Amino acid sequence: MNRVAVVGAGMSRFGTRRLPATSLFAEAFREAQGSVDRGFDPSAIEAAWIGSLGFGGGQIGNAASLLASEIGAPGIPAERVENACASSGFAFRDAYLAIASGAADVALAGGVEVMNDLEPVHQRFWLGVSGDTLWERLAGATFPGVYALLAGLHMHEFGTTREQLASVAVKNHANGARNPKAQFQKEVPLERVLASPMVASPLSVFDCCSTTDGASAVILASERTARAYTDTPVWIEASAAATDALALHDRRSFTSLEATARAGAQAFARAGLRPDDVDVAEVHDCFTIAEILAVEDLGFVPKGKGGAWSDAGRSSIQGDVAVNPSGGLKAKGHPLGATGTAQVEEIFLQLRGEAGARQRSGAEVGLAHNVGGSGATCTVHLFRRG
Amino acid sequence: MNRVAVVGAGMSRFGTRRLPATSLFAEAFREAQGSVDRGFDPSAIEAAWIGSLGFGGGQIGNAASLLASEIGAPGIPAERVENACASSGFAFRDAYLAIASGAADVALAGGVEVMNDLEPVHQRFWLGVSGDTLWERLAGATFPGVYALLAGLHMHEFGTTREQLASVAVKNHANGARNPKAQFQKEVPLERVLASPMVASPLSVFDCCSTTDGASAVILASERTARAYTDTPVWIEASAAATDALALHDRRSFTSLEATARAGAQAFARAGLRPDDVDVAEVHDCFTIAEILAVEDLGFVPKGKGGAWSDAGRSSIQGDVAVNPSGGLKAKGHPLGATGTAQVEEIFLQLRGEAGARQRSGAEVGLAHNVGGSGATCTVHLFRRG
């Protein structure tokens, strides 16, 4: 397989934007373009993969060609990927495979979602479609409800506390306060998290990510091309993906997302790396419990210990592993299909030492972990500073 | 790039099935499995790409993991691709790239669509989303309307006649009559096509494809693995894709689908083949005019001559090129996301001499051409008998 690098990455400002998907995606692409050290002409893009749940911005189907035209790359092969909230993690993987195969030297991966143009009742419908329809959605289970079940069992089995869950929110909001593109850029004290209104016990408002408009874009290049763009490429050391049963009742465990565990183990094996080699990780914290499951399932901390580990500050920016220095889905925001490649953008910045006030010092190895639904789809990518 | 073969392919019976997408996809997969000469265990699948517009069968989002579980391959990386009616053409291309890269030895590509579980008003909405929303769908342009514009100009510029358009329908229904899985298995005389009710002038009912439920599945293998499954693999000689402006008014031509022309030219160049090397082609005949545009844009016949060429029987099963021996979208049916890999299935059968009453004798080289929307997305694949 040919080696593949990330040579540019960008994201739109995340938040309540209410712009067409085309405009948001173009904003993200311009940022990515601007990040390429020696400049980047969109005509160099040979193919694009773009993740989206697809319900925002007006163009619901066949949007890939529209997005390609919008960024100045009309006519290229462009494809929409939909794997719920892991859509752009999978889009990134497709772009990686295209370059690894030798079919392309330069490819684009990205994602976009407009959520705030929908009425709340439609948001609930569309969000719900990423979980199991037959057994969960039609029975009224929303994502906060589903993750609350996982949180409740984790508390029961391992003694995880609400304060430990809340510590994830406190950390990620503190990180988001240092990210000028985050949806929420304000620190939130523990007391406020604990006192926030209950959504689905034990998850309160500050345990849940938000409704976000946004886009992200990443430029990938082959080894022979990367040096034409930059002296500091970020190498993709491994790409792995997995799925799990869509419905919770078909799974073997409720205190582990097995797709994460499998994709993570494969990624580490392919890269010849171990969890303690990782300096910085963007993991899929759609709820505080989701970050705790992720750091356990990825092997940063033994199963059941994630809550105490977070509460002890071990996942802070200068902790054992900087987990979600961007603010994560929790504070940076979660525009579904845009999240996977936004995670890659943060890792790109961190490994190049360009993450400003939220920089993990000396970061050499990074990980991006993107989950779809309640864990039915997952990608894990490992990166190393070039 | 590693060489990639098709070692198995299958499709469900196409028609008004009203089954869940999971059941239809499992039916297609079992057929594909049954077509592998030395047997095939689903646990061999390392990754899957599944095309769907996604509006049928109940599970609207994140369905890839559900479909993977359904066919006995739980946990594998599985991804939904949505590029309108070219969804599974692009899914097939992704699976090809994964094997070409060396990341996998065995992959699955497929597609599924359930259209008959929707009320007609919703069908119109969902179908419309594959065309441009801002300038076309919201102005009331349906796909028959859009293709009628292309047909009208083709008639005006090149003297194409309604009888020539109708000859495509007559041929494809004659072919469909020999395909036990086609939605329509009855010959339709020219007079009946011409006398059928007008939908959008000059396209009448028999110029348009139908509303279809169905699924298809193709098993791809690397060169080093293919021979373990069969002595007669079908080699993928080239994979190409392109896009065009989504809205008609942004295009340079209305009598050519440029994405087809570009993807076709790239595919022939990569394979070192020419249009007259092709014995059998499945092209995207969502309307009769679409087949005429396709045979011209792919280079089987000069621009403007496609109508007369079809009318003269040159695209019949034993003609210059057997075009749509399966019956095409016109008679086999068009379950949107399932069409691209159903085309590959027909080429697989034809190149192995297994197409029964519709066999093109001595077929050595085949082509599959899949279009999304009114030409905004397109894949072209070339195949050779192993």
**Closest-CA distance of chain A to residue B56, Å:** 12
A233 three-state secondary structure: coil
CA count, 13 A, side-chain hemisphere, A273: 24
Q: Are A36 and A8 within 8 A, CB to CB?
A: yes
Q: Which residues of A touch B62 (CB under 8 A)?
A: 82-84, 129-131, 246, 372-373, 376-377
Is B222 touching A (CB cutoff 8 A)? no
Average pLDDT over residues B15-41: 96
CA B282 to chain centre: 7
**Closest-CA distance of chain B to residue A194, Å:** 32
Number of neighbours of residue A265 by Cβ within 10 angstroms: 17
Distance CA A194, CA B161 (A): 73
The reply to whether residue A97 touches residue B102, judged by beta carbons under 8 angstroms, is: no
Distance CA A372, CA A52 (A): 11
Active site residue B85: yes
Number of neighbours of residue A375 by Cβ within 10 angstroms: 33
Q: Which residues of A touch B80 (CB under 8 A)?
A: 81-83
The reply to whether residue A75 touches residue B376, judged by beta carbons under 8 angstroms, is: no
Angle between helices A87-101 and A339-351 (to 10 degrees): 60
Question: Model confidence over B41-50: pLDDT tens digits?
Answer: 999 999 999 9
With bands split at pLDDT 50, 70 and 90, how would you rate the model's confidence at B23?
very high
With bands split at pLDDT 50, 70 and 90, how would you rate the model's confidence at B34?
very high
Structure tokens of A307? 């809550």
Size of interface A-B (CB pairs under 8 A): 195
Q: Give Cα separations from A31 to A9, A27, A188 (angstroms).
A: 7, 6, 29
The reply to whether residue A61 touches residue B101, judged by beta carbons under 8 angstroms, is: no
Distance CA A297, CA A285 (A): 13
Residue B314 has pLDDT above 80, yes or no: yes
Place of tokens 């160049």: B269
Distance CA B235, CA A171 (A): 53
3-class secondary structure for B158-209? HCCCHHHHHHHHHHHHHHHCCCCCCCCCCCCCHHHHHHCCEEECCEEHHHEC
Taking CA–CA distances from A58, the nearest residue in chain B reads B133
3-class secondary structure for B14-25? CECCCCCHHHHH
CA A145 to chain centre: 21
Distance CA B361, CA B279 (A): 9
Average pLDDT over residues B150-166: 98
B146 three-state secondary structure: helix
In chain A, what is the greatest distance between 2 CA atoms, to the nearest angstrom? 55
CA B258 to chain centre: 17
Name which of A22, A25, A65 to mutate to probe chain B: the one with the most chain B Cβ atoms within 10 A of its Cβ. Answer: A65
Angle between helices A288-297 and A258-271 (to 10 degrees): 40
- Characterize the bridge pairing of strands A280-282 and A322-323: parallel
Taking CA–CA distances from B125, the nearest residue in chain A reads A60
Residue B267 has pLDDT above 70, yes or no: yes
Is B262 touching A (CB cutoff 8 A)? yes
Nearest of B101, B98, B96 to residue B271 by alpha carbon: B96
The reply to whether residue B132 touches residue A242, judged by beta carbons under 8 angstroms, is: no
Angle between helices B288-297 and B162-176 (to 10 degrees): 90
Distance CA A88, CA A81 (A): 7
- Complex ipTM: 0.97
Residue B31 has pLDDT above 90, yes or no: yes
Q: Which amino acid is at B84?
A: A
Number of neighbours of residue B18 by Cβ within 10 angstroms: 13
Selecting from A61, A69, A93 the residue whose C-beta is nearest the C-beta of B129 gives A61
CA count, 13 A, side-chain hemisphere, A322: 23
The reply to whether residue A53 touches residue B75, judged by beta carbons under 8 angstroms, is: no
Is A381 touching B (CB cutoff 8 A)? no
Give B139 or A193, the one with higher predicted confidence. Answer: A193
Distance CA B148, CA B129 (A): 18
Q: Give Cα separations from B258 to A47, B147, B253 (angstroms).
A: 17, 15, 8
Is A245 touching B (CB cutoff 8 A)? yes
Distance CA A384, CA B10 (A): 42
Distance CA A21, CA A230 (A): 29
Is A136 touching B (CB cutoff 8 A)? no
Is B246 touching A (CB cutoff 8 A)? yes
Selecting from B1, B78, B244 the residue whose C-beta is nearest the C-beta of A243 gives B78
Distance CA B334, CA B85 (A): 9
Each residue's pLDDT expressed in tens, for chain A with a length of 386 residues: 999 999 999 999 999 998 999 999 999 999 999 999 999 999 999 999 999 987 666 787 899 999 999 999 999 999 999 999 999 999 999 999 999 999 999 999 999 999 887 766 666 566 677 889 888 988 888 899 999 999 999 999 999 999 999 999 999 999 999 999 999 999 999 999 999 999 999 999 999 999 999 999 999 999 999 999 999 999 999 999 999 999 999 999 999 999 999 999 999 999 999 999 999 999 999 999 999 999 999 999 999 999 999 999 999 999 999 999 999 999 999 999 999 999 999 999 999 999 999 999 999 999 999 999 999 999 999 999 98
pLDDT at A140: 86
Is A244 touching B (CB cutoff 8 A)? yes
B247 three-state secondary structure: coil
Q: Which residues of B touch A240 (CB under 8 A)?
A: 77
pLDDT at A381: 98
Distance CA A127, CA A149 (A): 18
With bands split at pLDDT 50, 70 and 90, how would you rate the model's confidence at B124?
low
The reply to whether residue B244 touches residue A133, judged by beta carbons under 8 angstroms, is: no
Angle between helices A288-297 and A162-176 (to 10 degrees): 90
Burial group, residue A187, by CB count within 10 angstroms (0-12, 13-18, 19+): middle
The reply to whether residue B372 touches residue A239, judged by beta carbons under 8 angstroms, is: no
**Closest-CA distance of chain A to residue B37, Å:** 28
pLDDT at B55: 60
Average pLDDT over residues B295-307: 98
Omega before residue A202 within 30° of 0, cis: yes
B4 three-state secondary structure: strand
With bands split at pLDDT 50, 70 and 90, how would you rate the model's confidence at B123?
low
**Closest-CA distance of chain A to residue B310, Å:** 29
The reply to whether residue A131 touches residue B62, judged by beta carbons under 8 angstroms, is: yes
The reply to whether residue B81 touches residue A78, judged by beta carbons under 8 angstroms, is: no
B283 three-state secondary structure: coil
Distance CA B218, CA B190 (A): 35
The reply to whether residue A103 touches residue B97, judged by beta carbons under 8 angstroms, is: yes
The reply to whether residue A61 touches residue B132, judged by beta carbons under 8 angstroms, is: no
pLDDT at A119: 66
**Closest-CA distance of chain B to residue A251, Å:** 11
The reply to whether residue B61 touches residue A82, judged by beta carbons under 8 angstroms, is: yes
- Characterize the bridge pairing of strands A47-51 and A78-82: parallel
Q: Which residues of A touch B59 (CB under 8 A)?
A: 129, 132-134, 246
Q: Are B223 and B3 within 8 A, CB to CB?
A: yes
Selecting from B68, B133, B242 the residue whose C-beta is nearest the C-beta of A75 gives B242
Q: Where are the alpha helices (DSSP H) in chain B?
A: 21-35, 64-70, 87-101, 120-128, 143-158, 162-176, 190-195, 223-229, 258-271, 288-297, 306-311, 328-331, 339-351
DSSP 8-state secondary structure symbol assigned to residue A362? T
Catalytic residue among A173, A284, A334, A381: A334
pLDDT at A120: 63
Question: Model confidence over B50-98: pLDDT tens digits?
Answer: 999 876 667 878 999 999 999 999 999 999 999 999 999 999 999 999 9
Number of neighbours of residue A276 by Cβ within 10 angstroms: 11
Q: Give Cα separations from A1 to A54, A232, B127 (angstroms).
A: 32, 21, 39
Q: What is the DSSP string of A207-220?
A: GB----BEEEEEEE
pLDDT at A126: 63
**Chain A residues 43-82 with a CB less than 8 Å from chain B:** 47, 53-54, 58-66, 68-69, 74-82
Name which of B82, B123, B130, B256 to mutate to probe chain A: the one with the most chain A Cβ atoms within 10 A of its Cβ. Answer: B82
Place of tokens 């997305």: B377
Catalytic residue among B173, B334, B369, B381: B334
CA B69 to chain centre: 25
The reply to whether residue B75 touches residue A259, judged by beta carbons under 8 angstroms, is: yes
